[in-house]
Structure 1
Amino acid sequence: MAATLGLLVRDPNSPQPAAGQPVPLQDLAATIESSIIPRLLVSHGVFRAADVAVTGTPVAIDSEMIIAFAEELIALDSTRGLDFVQSLLSRGVAMERILLELMAPAARILGELWSADHCSFMDVTLGVSRIQQILRVIQGKAEGQAGDDVKGRVLLVPSPGEQHTFGLRVVEEFFLRDGWEVRSHLTARHEDVIAFVSEEDFDIVGFSLSAERLMEPLVSVISEIRRKSVNRQIRVMVGGVLFVGRPDLVKQSGTDVYVLDAREAVLQANEWCRSAKVN
């Protein structure tokens, strides 16, 4: 397990609600249960299509499983929550049960942990966005398509050797909210990144870098991405304070573009998306 919920502490650098403003996540689980879930149940055939006949002993969704799923939602590897849900589906658990008995309680647990200072505001918001991405992926598979609302696929990883990854979690949140399918792996090594892009079709790879001593590994991995990506038109972006006012480093890295923050990263990705559709 990448992180144990009982050991998480609030990150002082994570975004917090403004003083005097209502905390939007206090009623998060209630909102999911009273609004989001009923709308999805009514609007999407995914839940009916994803249901499979239960064979053998029915799977119990207990408190231990809910806590385990909540941990996966904020793991360093963003695919673990989806893997968790797909495992349940393969064992015959209906999607409606997963929504009502697993996802909503997991969201509530994250909200409660944030209120008790045991996890960060970003952990909670990212966990909820990952729930939304899981639903999009499951729906797309049930309908035999990727989903018309998904703009593209983004891989977010630190530059090889980079230890500072909080910024990537913020970038992931922005991309998820904007309708992109995101895979983030905050402990990925050079060979992991190459395996990802050579086996899966990503539109964009985003790197973060904070130290100039890691420039050589970054240059190396970007060069290999260009050679081995299954998407020959893959785009690469980098971010990090190291590149501020250093166009020489941006050029040296071999990236397509440097982005200042998460908002600029999404804007640039959308521009690439529009250009690809025109061409």
Structure 2
Amino acid sequence: MASTHRAEDHRTPRSTSADEGENVVRFERPERLLAEDPSPLALAQLIEGEIIPRLLMAHRDAPASDVIPMNTGVIAPAELERFSRQVMVADLATLLEHIELLVRRGVGVETIYFDLLSPAAKRLGEMWEADDCSFTDVTIGLCRLQQIVYEFADRVHVETGGGDGRTALFALTPGDHHSFGLVLVVEYFRRAGWRTVCMPDATAEDLVDTVRAERFDLVGFSMANERWLDVLPPVIANVRQASLNTDLKVIVGGRAFEVDPSRVARVGADHTAGDAREAVQVVDAIFRRQQTVA
């Protein structure tokens, strides 16, 4: 439970007895303390010497809380849980107002992306798998999350990445349907200087036709559900074989690889990354090494 402070009209603090509840700072009338010297200086000394230390002590002794003060730039677990459920029922305007409040609170846009929106998408998947919500609920929620990403895309600052006009193709593993992580990846690569092509609904044949018709430096696959693991190896093998670029790099990501990174080699990919930020950094390092060798 959060710290509770009850101020009762111009009173100075006194100790709280055990039966009055934890972290409650009660106050007594200051007239007696200020009777001898009612000057502004005396009042300031009273606030500095008595009130502030007691308030700080109450905060220090407070138990861990899911309630985050309005001036902090972090997302609390309970806040994430509420938001994950809200995206399934609230309209976009309401959600954007909430995000704007977070920004004014001091939460950075990157923090919103990776500590709120992305975990919320994962939470939607977990709730669906646990039959805690319907497929329609999840679809609506993911749609809202994507709309928020696009709304705040121009505020994202990508410090790393040297796309230099290189081209990347991003797709879901054929059969998978959780595309929100892919949206974030595409947006980050785009802002890092990459030309991006996103094909979330592509079939294996579509992907082969695409890399046969256009040269790509990188192909990325996202996979949330491990049930599609056996689908991806032949897709990657066929994409490599058909690619106009004989040195095509393949990166994979998503929950299926987060829980077991050894699956990267199993599907025939080169690298993996935990999120869009890391993916940009990993790929940037790959191409920097190539330039150094060359």
Alpha-carbon spacing, 1:252–1:9, altered in 2? closer, same or farther (3 Å): farther
Q: Is 1:273 the equivalent of 2:287?
A: yes
User: Partners in 2 of 1:225 and 1:218 — Cα distance?
Assistant: 10
Structure 2, unaligned stretches of length 5 or more? 1-89, 110-143, 156-161
Shift of 1:248: 3.0
- Is the partner of 2:170 in helix, strand or coil? strand
Counterpart of 2:266 in structure 1 is 252
Shift of 1:21: 4.7
Counterpart of 2:104 in structure 1 is 20
Shift of 1:124: 2.4
Counterpart of 1:243 in structure 2 is 257
Q: Is the 8 A contact 1:154 1:205 kept in 2?
A: yes
Shift of 1:122: 1.0
Counterpart of 1:203 in structure 2 is 217
CA deviation vs aligned residue, 1:186-218 (integer Å, no higher than 9, x gap): 111111111111111100001000112111211
Q: Which amino acid aligns with 2:257?
A: F
Shift of 1:176: 1.1
User: Partners in 2 of 1:197 and 1:122 — Cα distance?
Assistant: 27
Q: Which amino acid aligns with 1:122?
A: V
Report matched runs for 1:91-170 at 5 Å.
120-126=147-153, 150-170=164-184
Shift of 1:251: 1.6
Alpha-carbon spacing, 1:208–1:12, altered in 2? closer, same or farther (3 Å): farther
Alpha-carbon spacing, 1:205–1:12, altered in 2? closer, same or farther (3 Å): farther
Counterpart of 2:65 in structure 1 is none
Shift of 1:118: 11
Q: Is 1:193 the equivalent of 2:177?
A: no
How many residue pairs get aligned? The number is 162
Q: Percent of aligned pairs with the same residue?
A: 30
Q: Is the 8 A contact 2:237 2:268 kept in 1?
A: yes
User: Partners in 2 of 1:9 and 1:250 — Cα distance?
Assistant: 38
Q: Which amino acid aligns with 1:20?
A: R
User: Partners in 2 of 1:118 and 1:260 — Cα distance?
Assistant: 19
Alpha-carbon spacing, 1:24–1:212, altered in 2? closer, same or farther (3 Å): closer
Counterpart of 1:177 in structure 2 is 191
User: Partners in 2 of 1:187 and 1:258 — Cα distance?
Assistant: 21
The higher-RCO structure (CA 8 Å, 6+ apart) is 1
Counterpart of 2:241 in structure 1 is 227
Q: Is the 8 A contact 2:212 2:243 kept in 1?
A: yes
Alpha-carbon spacing, 1:228–1:11, altered in 2? closer, same or farther (3 Å): farther
Q: Is the 8 A contact 2:163 2:192 kept in 1?
A: no
Alpha-carbon spacing, 1:13–1:222, altered in 2? closer, same or farther (3 Å): farther
Alpha-carbon spacing, 1:149–1:118, altered in 2? closer, same or farther (3 Å): closer
Q: Is 1:217 the equivalent of 2:227?
A: no
User: Partners in 1 of 2:165 and 2:105 — Cα distance?
Assistant: 32
Structure 1, unaligned stretches of length 5 or more? 1-7, 26-116, 130-147
- Is the partner of 1:163 in helix, strand or coil? coil
Q: Is the 8 A contact 2:145 2:180 kept in 1?
A: no
User: Partners in 1 of 2:248 and 2:286 — Cα distance?
Assistant: 10
Larger Rg over CA atoms: 2
User: Partners in 2 of 1:275 and 1:118 — Cα distance?
Assistant: 35
CA deviation vs aligned residue, 1:1-47 (integer Å, no higher than 9, x gap): xxxxxxx954999994525259999xxxxxxxxxxxxxxxxxxxxxx
CA RMSD of aligned residues (A): 3.4
CA deviation vs aligned residue, 1:218-265 (integer Å, no higher than 9, x gap): 111001112111000000000011112413322211100111100111
Q: Which amino acid aligns with 1:123?
A: Y
4+ aligned runs moved over 4 Å, structure 1: 11-15, 21-25
Q: Is the 8 A contact 1:10 1:119 kept in 2?
A: no
